[in-house]
Structure 1
Amino acid sequence: MSDQEGKYNIKAAALMLGIQPGTLRAWERRYQMIAPVRNEAGHRLYTDEHIKILKWLIKKVNQGFTISQAISLMGHNPSQMDTDAINLKTLNPLASQIDSLYDALIHFEHHKINEVMNTMFSIFTMEKVIIDIFSQVFLKIEDSFKNGYIISAQRNFSSRHLSARINTVIHSLPNDIHLNKALCITSSKDGEAINLLLFSYFLRKQGIDVINIGTYHSEEDIKKVMEMIHPDILIISCEDSKDLYEALTLTNLLSLNYQDLAIGLCGHAISTMNSAEKEQFSTYILGQTKKDWEMWLLERLEY
């Protein structure tokens, strides 16, 4: 039986770790640092890999760290980890796992890509992999391309492969005809609207139906779609600064014509606007983190 197979129920895991099962459940729910598989009866099953991670975290807590500090240390300060407690690659998915996936993508290694992704999903929740890990891989790909370390073929393959995986997850989530609706569009003519894709996943996890129509061609097209689906939310993505004026003009127009519509802006061009533009459009800017997204959504929708 491999380290990736579920072996221990929560009582056995808690006994091995010396903590209460309720504490373990609370950590998983709040911090999502692991995602144990469940058997046919719905009971958690922990792998040897999970136990190693949890032992390391508990050791740090016993040394005086809070659990949140220990998890942050695990993800962002690999130099401080105890190598005898856990293998560095296993412990640090937000660094070495990102590197492994990045390397597999830019070398077009389908088998390795699937292997690394499966490892990620076996340790962490789907949400953590997509929002925390995949987003960092996307950033690394873009930075490498801009700095000339990879060519456009590597960038395109990598971005499309990750986008396809996220879209598959989004479409696998259950639908409800009573959900709020979000219309997502992009002004990007080239490349993948990664920020929009990540936010689309976030919205679906919040129980919001997402309709992504991709690049829009005219204001008239948008108006017709609005009349067809009557969305509660409209998200406009702008990745390239040359498309920024068009995106902001559309935002102003729609905000005047649809006063009950929650409009959000995301994308590289939005995050790099000058201070005056950011102040003018601050109401619409989604932000960069999950906490930013949660606050933006909370202020605009009533559940």
Structure 2
Amino acid sequence: MKQDRQYFIKQVAKVTGLTAQLIRKWEERYQLIEPKRLPNGYRLYSESDVNTLLSIKSLQKQGYSITEAVALTKDHNNTMVSDADEVHPLQTASMPASKLNHFVISMLESGSACNELELVVLLKQAFHYFGLNAFLTEVVAPFLKVVGDKWEAGEWDEFQESVSSLVVRDMLVQIRRNFQYNDNAPLVIGACLPMEQHEIPVHFLLLQLLLKGWKTFLIGASPAPGSIESLVSRLKPRIVLLSASTTLPFEHDPELLNKLDRFAGSMPATVFYMGGEGALEYAKKHVPERIIIARNMEEVII
């Protein structure tokens, strides 16, 4: 992957969601980015420029003024360069968690155009470049985070979000199905709750557990009522991962969590985890006795 990858302003606008006019205005007024100029006057922006613009946009979304956002981003970039080992006050949660690499930036451009074929090619290239673990953390996770942010902010429509998410999902399914594992490895079952359609987080976790020597089984999106209990009883896994990105499963069946919690109590040899924004929200007022509510992946990836 080339480190000096450059982008025209139209590409930067697609990725960042900022207009070309605003990008030029920020460039000229705040001197925060310095694109190269071609003889014909066209600007070429670097990956660093793209990430800087995304940082300013993220800070503005958190309530900072443009002046404050620019100052924070400048100071953050300077401290990161001056001493990467020292912890500085500006290295806080207000700054974007990670920098987008060339693959993610190109995928966002393809996703914006709903170019499914280009997305597939980029995902395959990134997978072979990084290897599975870094592919998940450096490509898949940040890409889906930005896609979700764009859809939530109204920058992308449902079709753009759907195409991007489905291409990633299909890639993760393909990788998991082709992964070689030991038949004697301990089993983990991942399942969406009934009415839950977002299965990508489950694929993500199962792939990380495959890397740690587990054998995996997936119960896909919106399983039929009772199917989770039936399969867990039959397969007797070491771990069960339950996912709810929304509270819809609990709204549809107010007794769902209690039923699953009682079932978990009948399987003492199996550890049950439940995660996702919907599960976390619902568990604020409905705390299960047997099921562990996981707030992040690190609590599950053991």
Q: Offset of 1:247 from its aligned partner?
A: 4.6
Alignment deviations for residues 207-254 of structure 1 (CA, whole Å, 9 cap, x no partner): 1111112132122x3333223312111111112212134552243122
Written as runs of structure 1 = structure 2, the 5 A alignment for 1:167-186 is 167-186=173-192
In the other structure, the counterpart of 1:127 is 133
Q: Offset of 1:161 from its aligned partner?
A: 0.3
In the other structure, the counterpart of 1:286 is 294
C-alpha spacing 1:149/1:64, structure 2 compared with 1 (3 Å)? closer
C-alpha spacing 1:258/1:98, structure 2 compared with 1 (3 Å)? same
Distance 2:107 2:174 in 1: 18
State the one-letter code of the partner of 2:261.
Answer: N
Residue among 245, 251, 257 paired with 2:260: 251
Distance 1:293 1:94 in 2: 26
In the other structure, the counterpart of 1:17 is none
Alignment deviations for residues 126-172 of structure 1 (CA, whole Å, 9 cap, x no partner): 21221343122222222322332222222221111001111122222
In the other structure, the counterpart of 1:217 is 224
In the other structure, the counterpart of 2:234 is 228
Alignment deviations for residues 13-51 of structure 1 (CA, whole Å, 9 cap, x no partner): xxxxxxxxxxxxxxxxxxxxxxxxxxxxxxxxxxxxxxx
Secondary structure of 1:183's match?
strand
Distance 2:236 2:205 in 1: 20
The answer to whether the Cα contact below 8 Å between 2:245 and 2:279 also exists between their aligned partners in 1 is yes
Aligned residues: 219
In the other structure, the counterpart of 1:138 is 144
Secondary structure of 1:272's match?
helix
The answer to whether the Cα contact below 8 Å between 2:243 and 2:274 also exists between their aligned partners in 1 is yes
The answer to whether the Cα contact below 8 Å between 1:287 and 1:293 also exists between their aligned partners in 2 is no
The answer to whether the Cα contact below 8 Å between 1:238 and 1:247 also exists between their aligned partners in 2 is no
Distance 2:125 2:180 in 1: 24
Q: Offset of 1:175 from its aligned partner?
A: 2.1
Distance 1:101 1:224 in 2: 39
- Superposition TM-score, scaled by structure 2 size: 0.60
Alignment deviations for residues 172-226 of structure 1 (CA, whole Å, 9 cap, x no partner): 221211011112211253643222121111111111111112132122x333322
In the other structure, the counterpart of 1:268 is 277
In the other structure, the counterpart of 2:85 is 66
Higher mean C-alpha displacement, 128-137 vs 188-197: 188-197
Q: Offset of 1:93 from its aligned partner?
A: 5.5
Distance 1:160 1:133 in 2: 15
The answer to whether the Cα contact below 8 Å between 1:159 and 1:192 also exists between their aligned partners in 2 is no
Give 5+ residue unaligned stretches, structure 1.
5-59, 79-91, 298-303
- Superposition TM-score, scaled by structure 1 size: 0.60
Distance 1:273 1:236 in 2: 14
In the other structure, the counterpart of 1:32 is none
Distance 1:264 1:102 in 2: 32
Distance 2:263 2:130 in 1: 39
Give 5+ residue unaligned stretches, structure 2.
4-78
Written as runs of structure 1 = structure 2, the 5 A alignment for 1:16-27 is none
The answer to whether the Cα contact below 8 Å between 1:184 and 1:235 also exists between their aligned partners in 2 is yes
In the other structure, the counterpart of 1:162 is 168
Residue among 140, 158, 171 paired with 1:152: 158
The answer to whether the Cα contact below 8 Å between 1:98 and 1:133 also exists between their aligned partners in 2 is yes
In the other structure, the counterpart of 1:25 is none
State the one-letter code of the partner of 1:232.
Answer: R
The answer to whether the Cα contact below 8 Å between 1:185 and 1:213 also exists between their aligned partners in 2 is yes
In the other structure, the counterpart of 2:195 is 189
C-alpha spacing 1:137/1:66, structure 2 compared with 1 (3 Å)? same
The answer to whether the Cα contact below 8 Å between 1:130 and 1:166 also exists between their aligned partners in 2 is no
State the one-letter code of the partner of 1:285.
Answer: I
The answer to whether the Cα contact below 8 Å between 1:187 and 1:239 also exists between their aligned partners in 2 is no
